[in-house]
Structure 1
Amino acid sequence: MKKLFLFAAIAFLCLSSCNEQKEPTQMQNVMAIHDEVMPQMGKLGDLVGELNAKENDSTELGKKYMKAKKDLQAAHKSMMDWMQNFGNRFDPDEILNGKELSEQKQQWLDEEEEKVKELKREITESIANAEALLEGDE
């Protein structure tokens, strides 16, 4: 019975230690937000194309189409700018391999975390607005 208990305790400890997940780092959180919104860039481009077809409308609705298109284009530019600036601030080892950051780079990462959260909001809202506008048109 003692052996069975000892075996069960060891098995439990092995399984629980294997299942322990480390808390994601701040860099991993920033990259996760980027990875979440990056696939939406194709949808953003598709919506710009749909709105292009309606931009000659001079009514009030036409003005809404134009604003929605500009918002989508601004969100796209924000993503491109963010990626370029982020890549200029951090090297691949810091981004992908968890290389320790200097104090300056840690401050930059704090800034980039706020920027990528704002970027996500901008992309999500511009897409939702354009989709709602286009759906209301059907």
Structure 2
Amino acid sequence: MKYSIVFLLFGLIILFQSCGNKQVEANNKLREEVIAVHDEVMPKMGQLKSLEKTALQMVEELSASPDPDQEKIDALKTLAVDLDQAYEGMFVWMRQYEIEDGEKTPEEVKAYLEDQMVKVTKVNEDIKNVLQKADSLIKQ
């Protein structure tokens, strides 16, 4: 009887540990996915600032013309703001992202990473959308 309890406890410990390892592996994969979403648009950060500068230059040029197109000027001003917000959004996300898990349980890490995936996906989409908007507005 005594040995049965010891083996049962030993078996339960192994079972719980293997489940914990699976969660850690799943969290590592999720962390890689979060970073991949970030990495997809991070190289476009310079492009955001360049397009913002171009949009503001176009505003100046259009404003100086004899018959300024106020609708286009307003659209370009809005675009410049949107480009800046997308740029800043990336850095806001990066500053708050925690690389280390600290004292979090695997379940807490999973919840954190899932939340970060939502946030970084929004940043990714904002950047892609504003670049598409800039492409259509600046090349008109």
TM-score, normalised to structure 1, is 0.70
Shift of 1:28: 0.3
| Equivalent of 1:33 in 37, 43, 49 | 37
Counterpart Cα distance in 2 of 1:26 and 1:101: 15
Aligned to 1:104: 108
1:42 aligns with 2:62: no
Runs (5+) with no aligned partner, structure 2? 1-24
Q: CA RMSD in A?
A: 2.3
Q: Which amino acid aligns with 1:90?
A: I
Q: Which protein has the bigger helix share?
A: 2
1:126 is paired with a residue whose SS is helix
Q: Which protein is bigger by CA-based radius of gyration? A: 2
| Equivalent of 2:96 in 71, 85, 90 | 85
Aligned to 2:122: 118
2:59 is paired with a residue whose SS is coil
Counterpart Cα distance in 2 of 1:49 and 1:131: 14
User: How many pairs align?
Assistant: 107
Aligned to 2:136: 132
**What does the per-residue CA deviation read over 1:83-130, in whole Å, with 9 as the maximum and x for residues that have no partner?**
0000xx332xx5xxxx99623232111100011111111000011101
Aligned to 2:84: 73
CA distance 1:37–1:69, shift in 2 (3 Å)? same
TM-score, normalised to structure 2, is 0.69
